[in-house]
Amino acid sequence: MSGADKLDLNTAGTQRLLSIKGIGRGRAEAIVQYREKNGPFASLDDLDRVPHVGDMPPGELEQAKQHLVVHQTGNATDHKPEKVDVNQANVAELRQVPGIGEVRAETLVRYREERGRIQDLSELDLLPHFRDQSELERRHIKESLKV
């Protein structure tokens, strides 16, 4: 399947996602909701973090991924994006980190305002809206941040 025939995970709506074998209405809606809450997908591997999608049988999930693509927004580059400074970034900048979204970004900024600089990214594990995420989800977020 060529890239032109694949659905972009960051733009496909529920109806288009339903065309992929293994993705029913519940999973399609979960993908769209996850994207709306957490921002654009950075890679197809981010599907592993979507409720009801990440728990698909591995072979079935890999088959579904064959029909999807993630087009990078903005300037396409071959290197990893620069890490976001958790102590300097505002809410809008933090929202750009896959997995953070509006509520977590606001929680992080409020935490900094109340307690001062974040010394270590492990502090995120204690914050509301972060501690509810799986360890894998938190690790992905931390990989995009720096202190």
In a domain, 74, yes or no: no
Q: What percent of the chain has pLDDT over 70?
A: 90
In a domain, 125, yes or no: yes
Do 64 and 90 fall within a single domain? no
The dihedral sign for the CA sequence 22, 25, 26, 30: positive
- pLDDT for 106 equals 92
pTM above 0.85, yes or no: no
- How many domains is the chain built from? 2
In a domain, 141, yes or no: yes
Range of the domain at 113: 84-146
Do 61 and 89 fall within a single domain? no
pLDDT digits (tens, 9 = 90+) for 72-118: 654 444 445 688 999 999 988 888 887 888 888 999 999 999 999 99
Distance separating alpha carbons of residues 108 and 111, to the nearest angstrom: 5
In a domain, 100, yes or no: yes
Last residue of a domain, one of 46, 69, 92: 69
Which two tokens mark 54?
Answer: 């990440």
In a domain, 75, yes or no: no
In a domain, 106, yes or no: yes
Do 56 and 108 fall within a single domain? no
Average pLDDT, the chain: 85
Q: What percent of the chain has pLDDT over 90?
A: 36
Over 60: is that where the pLDDT of 65 sits?
yes
Which two tokens mark 65?
Answer: 């991924």
Numbers of helices and strands, H then E, in the chain: 6, 4
In a domain, 78, yes or no: no
In a domain, 102, yes or no: yes
- pLDDT for 31 equals 93
Do 65 and 91 fall within a single domain? no
